[in-house]
Amino acid sequence: MNIPQCLGSIFSVLNELNLEALAVKQLEHFLAEIYKLLYALGLDNVSHFIDVIIPEVVQAMAKERWEAKLGKNFAQADELRQKINAAGW
């Protein structure tokens, strides 16, 4: 089994989806299916991340960082990454 190729396929699907457009139930179902795939690949030890609550401040910085990357403002994206890391994320 080519685990890196499988993970690459999973990430490709994640990148193509508009997760913000999904309803909560759809998102829960989608995450359950992703978890099944990770389990099949022997990567089910990530389950401890499921119950983690990410602070809104960190979520906002992550969104701003993503927008900076999309806008090719890599200096701002790097600065935000450092702030997120400094916050423990």
Mean pLDDT of the chain: 84
Question: Six-digit token pair at 18?
Answer: 């508009």
Domain total in the chain: 2
pLDDT classification of 74: cutoffs 50, 70, 90: very high
| pLDDT for 48 beyond 70 | no
Supply the pLDDT for residue 46. Answer: 64
Q: Looking at the structure, do residues 44 and 70 belong to the same domain, yes or no?
A: no
Q: 40 and 61: one domain?
A: no
Pick from 63, 60, 38: nearest CA to 48: 38
Which has the higher per-residue pLDDT, 24 or 83? 83
The verdict on 11 and 38 lying in the same domain is yes
Looking at the structure, do residues 35 and 70 belong to the same domain, yes or no?
no
60: domain range?
56-86
Residue 73: predicted pLDDT: 95
Query: pTM score, two decimals?
Result: 0.47
Same domain, 41 and 13: yes
- Percentages of the chain per state (helix, strand, coil), in multiples of 5: 75, 0, 25
Based on the fold, state whether residues 63 and 41 are members of the same structural domain: no
